[in-house]
Structure 1
Amino acid sequence: MNAASASPAGVPAGGAGVVPRHVAIIMDGNGRWAKKRHLPRVAGHRKGVEAVRATVEAAGEMGIGVLTLYAFSSENWRRPAAEIADLMGLLRRYIRDELDSLARNGVKLRIIGDITRFDRDLVTMLEDACTRTARNERLTLVIALNYGGQDEIARVARQLAVAAAGGTIDPVTIDAAMIEDRLDTAALPPLDLLIRTSGERRLSNFLLWQAAYAELLFVDTLWPDFGAAALADAVADFGRRNRRYGGL
C-alpha cells in the first residue's frame, strides 16, 4: 500500500510537490533574537510581526489553505505585565495595519482560544476583523490567542458531559468525530504540518488533538528570521515524507 492510499480521504499523503493544506507554526525565539542583539524583548516581538507578514504572504502564494499561528498561549499570562502589554499593543497594531491588506488579498481571519479575558476594545477589533474577512477564500489565517490544547479538550469534554447528563446524547456514541466537531478548529482541514522555530522540540500545549497525525518539523531558525524561504524549505521537507497513518 502506498502513502496516498493509506491516508484518510482528502488528506495530503506527502510526495514531491505536495503542498500541505493546513500548516501551524509555534512562533518561538523573539526574545532570544533580541537578546543576541542586545535589544529589549519587545524589539524581538516587533521583528516577529514582520515575520508574520512575510509568512502569511508566502503561504497564500504557495497555495496553503490554512495557516495557524500560535500568538499567545494560555500560559503566557505568567509573563511580566509590561511584556503582556507590549504583546497586546502589537496585536492591535497588526490588526489595524494589516486588515486592509488581508481583506484585499483574500485572507480570512479566524481566532481560536478564549479571548474573553482580553480588553473589550481588542475583542471587538478581532471580531470585526473576522467578520470583514469572513467571505475570503484564498487563505484562512488562524490566530491562536489565550489558547491551550489541554483547555480546549477539557472544554469539549465538559460540553459532552453536560449533553450526556441532559440526555441529548448517549455517552456510548461519543467518538472522535463528535469531539472534533466541538474543537476550536472545527470545519478546518486536518493539520498536516506543525513547525516550531528556535530549536525547541516540544508542542507547548498547542493543537494537541489536531497534531495526532501531523508531520512535526523543528527548525533552529528564530521566529524573527523566518519567512518565505524558510516556509518553502518546510513545505519541501513535508513533500519528502511518507505519511502512513498506521499503515505500511
Structure 2
Amino acid sequence: MDGNGRWAKARRLPRIAGHRQGAEAVRRVARAARELGIEALTLYAFSSENWRRPEEEVSDLMGLLRHFLRSEIDELARENVRLHVIGDWRRLSPDLVRLIEDAIARTARNTGCQLAIALNYGAQAEIAAAARQLAARVRDGETAVEAIDEAAIEDALTTRDLPPLDLLIRTSGEVRLSNFLLWQAAYAELLFVDTLWPDFGADALADAVAQFGRRQRRFGGL
C-alpha cells in the first residue's frame, strides 16, 4: 500500500493526512474484497524497515493502527471476516499487542474472507526465522535434515494458515517487492499500478482481479 506520502505532498498536506486517507482505502478495499468473493487479502501495513522513519510519523502510524483495531473489529466480526496478523508484531507496544490478540481471538472462528495485516514484517526476516525454527527442530531431534522441503519451510512461515498467494499488487508506480512475501510470491502474478494507495478502491481492485483473470498461469509447465 504505497503512495500515502506522495498523495499528501501533492495536496500540500502533512504526511499523516496521507496515512489517514490510506486507512480509508483499507476499509474500502477490505469491503470490496468481500463483495468480490476474494478468499484472502493481505495488506502490508508496517514493514520492519519503517522504524527508520521519523519518530513522529511512526507514532502517527501506530495511532492509526489502534484506531483501526478499535473501530473496525465489530464490523469484521459481524461480516464473518477472520483476522490474521503476520510479522514480528509482538514487538509492538503492549497495548497494541493486546488489541491485536483480542481482535484475532474475536474473529478466530469466522469462516468468510481472511484479512491478514502485515505488521513489523519483512520477508527476509520471516525466512530467516523459519530457518532457525527448522534448525532447532533438527538439533532437538524432532525432524531430520532430509525432511526439510518446500512444504516444511512454508509451514514455518507466518503465512502458514493462509491460502497460496495468487496476485500481488503494488500501488504508486514503484516496481519492486520491497521485502514483501518473497517466498510466497514465487509463482504469484505481479501487478504494478500507478494509482497512489489513498486513491485505490473497489473499482481498482475489481480491475486488478479482472487483469489477473486474463493471465495464463503455467507454474513452469506448458
The aligned amino acid for 1:245 is F
What are the residue-to-residue correspondences of 1:70-85 with 2, within 5 Å?
Answer: 70-85=44-59
Tell me which of the two structures has the higher relative contact order, counting C-alpha pairs closer than 8 angstroms and 6 or more residues apart. 1
> What's the counterpart of residue 129 of structure 1?
103
Give the unaligned 5+ runs of structure 1: 1-26
Does residue 51 of the first structure (1) align with residue 25 of the second (2)? yes
- Inter-partner Cα distance in structure 2 for 1:117 and 1:82: 18
TM-score calculated relative to the size of structure 2: 0.99
What are the Cα deviations for residues 225-245 of structure 1, in whole angstroms up to 9, with x where unaligned? 001000000000000000000
> What's the counterpart of residue 9 of structure 2?
35
Does residue 103 of the first structure (1) align with residue 74 of the second (2)? no
Match of 2:181 among 207, 213, 221: 207
Name the count of aligned residue pairs: 222
Cα deviation for residue 187 of structure 1 reads 2.5
Match of 1:237 among 198, 211, 216: 211
Cα deviation for residue 116 of structure 1 reads 2.2
Question: Does the 8 Å CA contact 2:134/2:156 hold for their aligned counterparts?
Answer: no
Give the secondary structure class of the aligned counterpart of 2:205.
helix
What are the residue-to-residue correspondences of 1:163-242 with 2, within 5 Å?
Answer: 163-242=137-216
Instruction: Name the one with the larger helix percent.
Output: 2
- Inter-partner Cα distance in structure 2 for 1:197 and 1:247: 29
The aligned amino acid for 1:241 is R
Does residue 87 of the first structure (1) align with residue 61 of the second (2)? yes
The aligned amino acid for 2:205 is L
The aligned amino acid for 2:36 is M
Does residue 152 of the first structure (1) align with residue 110 of the second (2)? no
Q: After alignment, is 233-242 or 109-118 more displaced?
A: 109-118
- Inter-partner Cα distance in structure 1 for 2:73 and 2:133: 33
Match of 1:61 among 30, 35, 41: 35
Provide the alpha-carbon RMSD of the alignment.
0.7
Q: After alignment, is 134-143 or 27-36 more displaced?
A: 134-143
Q: After alignment, is 164-173 or 103-112 more displaced?
A: 164-173
TM-score calculated relative to the size of structure 1: 0.88
Cα deviation for residue 110 of structure 1 reads 0.7
Sequence identity, in percent? 69
What are the Cα deviations for residues 72-91 of structure 1, in whole angstroms up to 9, with x where unaligned? 00000000000000000000
- Inter-partner Cα distance in structure 1 for 2:82 and 2:142: 34
- Inter-partner Cα distance in structure 2 for 1:57 and 1:160: 37
Give the secondary structure class of the aligned counterpart of 1:205.
coil
- Inter-partner Cα distance in structure 2 for 1:51 and 1:84: 19
Give the unaligned 5+ runs of structure 2: none
